[in-house]
Amino acid sequence: MQSFKDEFLSFAIERKVLLFGDFKTKAGRMSPYFFNAGLFNDGASLKQVGEFYAQAILASGLEFDGLFGPAYKGIPLAATVAVALAGMGRNLPYSYNRKEAKDHGEGGTIVGAPLSGRILIVDDVISAGTSVRESVELIKAAGATPCGVAIALDRMERGLGDLSAVQEVSRQHGLPVVSIVNLDDLLAYLEGKPEWADTRTAITRYREQYGAA
């Protein structure tokens, strides 16, 4: 399993989606790394990231009947994951939401396949958990069942309390969260690479200060 995780990290660094340096987070912390999934912004990179998501999702063993992408970053991610899963023999429906309800045409806030059965939410990261909460409400309102969340990176960083944002979401909604990689995977990837020794040290210190239990 570590193989596709290492491949994803190499890919994210090469695409400059994962950057190292000094970055201020929403919480006001100075982080030694930054992840921006919005930079998977061409056909080749989007295709590849969809395949990484699909590998992580299938490896988790999670059972689901459809995919949901929260607006906005989750929309292309859910679509490319659906394509990747179809290429792996799992042809599944996907849906996404509008930020504002449409009052003409087909109307409503949900676009794509009708939400039915067990729905896996696909997003880039979990920060405050707002996107997941809104997605859960939309899925339940449609009569379907949210069954999990798939993200690219779990920072394993404390939120407002001792738990990480991912742990808070999982506990609040009773949902498993699948990530392609987490902070442990990143530290394992950097280990043994002399050119990244200072970066690994900085990330280790950051985790000691802000890491979740």
Per-residue pLDDT of the chain (213 residues; tens, 9 = 90+): 568 999 999 999 999 999 999 999 877 889 999 999 989 999 999 999 999 999 999 999 999 999 999 998 899 999 999 999 999 999 999 999 987 665 544 546 899 999 999 999 999 988 777 889 999 999 999 999 999 999 999 999 987 788 998 999 899 999 999 999 999 999 999 998 999 999 999 999 999 999 997
Given the residues 24, 47, 99, 102, select the one marked as catalytic.
102
122 within 8 A of 95, measured Cβ to Cβ = no
Contacts of 100 (CB under 8 A, 6+ apart): 109
| Annotated catalytic residue, options 104, 140, 173, 193 | 104
Tokens 């009052």, residue located: 103
CATH number at residue 59: 3.40.50.2020
Write down the H helix ranges in 61-196.
Answer: 74-87, 130-141, 165-173, 183-190
**35 and 17 Cβ atoms separated by less than 8 Å:** yes
Clarify whether 102 is annotated catalytic: yes
How many domains does the chain contain in total?
1
Q: Please tell me the distance from the alpha carbon of residue 134 to that of residue 127, in angstroms, as a whole number.
A: 13
Name the residue range of residue 163's domain.
2-210
